[in-house]
Structure 1
Amino acid sequence: MSRLGRFRNLLEAIAACDWHDAEMVMSAVLEEARADAPLMPFGEIDDDAEFWAAMATYEELRAWFLACGRRLAHRDLGRRGKIRLAQLLLADLSDEDRKAALAAARTGSRRRQVTQPKRRQAEGPRR
């Protein structure tokens, strides 16, 4: 059976269940899928990274992002890699925060100079 066929069967099974029962089962399945850290990649590493990021809670994403950022800071990403990373990091900042972040980078200041964003609730079931 194709992936699309399995997907349709799953949707039909969920629709046929009482909502509370479906919610309990889906939450348990998703929680089990989140229980472990990523294993060796089975396919393309970018696809696996996207999968694990989609399954992670906000706290996990934040911790992984900061840990990866510290490791990447000591690697040679090359000019294009550094520009791409900077673009991703600065894209959602307000003009004021972007200017503050760039000024802090120029001066080497580690003092918090940008406004703290409102914390959004993590997507998906909570642990």
Structure 2
Amino acid sequence: MSRLERFQNLLDAIEACDWQDAEMVMSAVLEEARADTPLVPFGHIEDDAEFWAAMATYEELRAYFLACGKRLARRQLGRRGQIRLAQLLFADMPDEDRRAVIATRRSGGAGRQVIQPERHQAEGPRR
């Protein structure tokens, strides 16, 4: 059975349940999934990473991002790897914040200025 067929079967099963029962079961399953670390990848590692990231809480994402970032900073990423990482980090950042990060780095003040992102309340369930 393909992944799409399993997905459709799951949606059909959820739809067939009483909504309160489905909500209780899905909440329990999602909470349990969020409690663990990523499993060993069975397919493409990028797909598994994307799936895990979609299931993770903000705190889990933040913790893993910072830990991975520290490890990546010690590795020789090469010019292309550094550019790709910077593009990902800057992708959703406002121009003003991008300029502040670049100016801090050029002035040698890295680590002295910390830009705190605005925290927003969750806007409904993640998809």
TM-score under structure 2 length normalisation:
0.85
Q: 1: distance between equivalents of 2:71 and 2:36?
A: 22
Which residue is equivalent to 1:116?
A: 117
Residue 63 of structure 1 and its aligned partner are, at CA, apart by 0.7
Note the aligned Cα RMSD (angstroms): 2.1
Which residue is equivalent to 2:67?
A: 67
Given that 1:34 and 1:56 are in contact with CA atoms closer than 8 Å, whether structure 2 keeps it comes out as yes
Which residue is equivalent to 1:58?
A: 58
How many positions carry a matched residue from both structures?
A: 125
Q: 2: distance between equivalents of 1:38 and 1:44?
A: 13
5+ residue gaps, structure 2: none
Which residue is equivalent to 2:15?
A: 15
Q: 1:31 to 1:118 in 2, by over 3 A?
A: closer
Which residue is equivalent to 1:41?
A: 41
Q: 1: distance between equivalents of 2:21 and 2:29?
A: 12
Q: Whose RCO is larger (CA < 8 A, sep 6+)? A: 1
Identity %: 69
Q: 2: distance between equivalents of 1:60 and 1:18?
A: 31
Q: 2: distance between equivalents of 1:122 and 1:74?
A: 36
Residue 38 of structure 1 and its aligned partner are, at CA, apart by 1.5
Q: 1: distance between equivalents of 2:45 and 2:119?
A: 32
Residue 8 of structure 1 and its aligned partner are, at CA, apart by 2.2
Q: 1: distance between equivalents of 2:2 and 2:117?
A: 45
TM-score under structure 1 length normalisation:
0.85
Which residue is equivalent to 2:80?
A: 80
Q: 1:108 to 1:100 in 2, by over 3 A?
A: same
Q: 2: distance between equivalents of 1:5 and 1:42?
A: 18
**Residues 39-63 of structure 1, C-alpha deviations (whole Å, 9 max, x = no match):** 3222221122112111110110011
